[in-house]
């Protein structure tokens, strides 16, 4: 998977997500930027949705910064086993940073496309 930029969890802010959104519409000839965030731990991972096929994750870096992550169609993705591993080994994750409004509150979410263990 080609990575467009590497960022820290501390750099994952709503302002960045809004700047990325300004590049839309995404599609053929204008792929959504793929961001990588190194050395995270999944401190919480739940299966949600009617069929349990979505993972909701809380990721944390070495400084304690946290960010919500989501994986849709988790059953189809081998890397989800790494996210659900309760040993909390450090991972590199890749995906898309998005910000939306829900009940008047801005929510920042990292939509995970891939993950790999540190050192792999």
Model pLDDT for residues 80-111, shown as the tens digit of each residue = 999 999 898 999 999 999 998 889 999 999 99
pTM as predicted: 0.94
- For 48-76, what is the mean pLDDT? 96
pLDDT at position 1 is 85
**Element spanning 42, H or E:** strand 35-48
pLDDT at position 102 is 86
Nearest to 67 by CA among 96, 34, 103: 96
Q: How far apart are CA 111 and CA 97, in angstroms?
A: 6
Mean pLDDT of all residues belonging to the chain: 95
> In this structure, which topology does domain 5-25+33-115 adopt according to CATH?
OB fold (Dihydrolipoamide Acetyltransferase, E2P) (2.40.50)
pLDDT class of 120 with cuts at 50, 70, 90: low
- For 66-70, what is the mean pLDDT? 97
Q: How far apart are CA 71 and CA 52, in angstroms?
A: 11
pLDDT digits (tens, 9 = 90+) for 30-55: 999 999 999 999 999 999 999 999 99
What is the CA 19 to chain-centroid distance, rounded?
17
């Amino acid at each position: 998977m080609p990575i467009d930029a590497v960022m820290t969890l501390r750099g994952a802010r709503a302002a960045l997500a809004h700047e990325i959104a300004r590049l839309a519409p995404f599609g053929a000839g204008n792929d959504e930027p793929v961001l990588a965030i190194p050395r995270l731990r999944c401190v919480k991972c739940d299966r949600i949705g009617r069929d349990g096929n979505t993972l909701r994750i809380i990721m944390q870096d070495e400084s304690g910064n946290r960010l919500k992550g989501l994986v849709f169609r988790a059953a189809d993705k081998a890397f989800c086993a790494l996210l659900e591993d309760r040993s909390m080994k450090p991972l590199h994750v890749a995906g898309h940073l998005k910000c939306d409004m829900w009940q008047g509150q801005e929510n920042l979410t990292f939509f995970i496309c891939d993950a790999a263990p540190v050192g792999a």
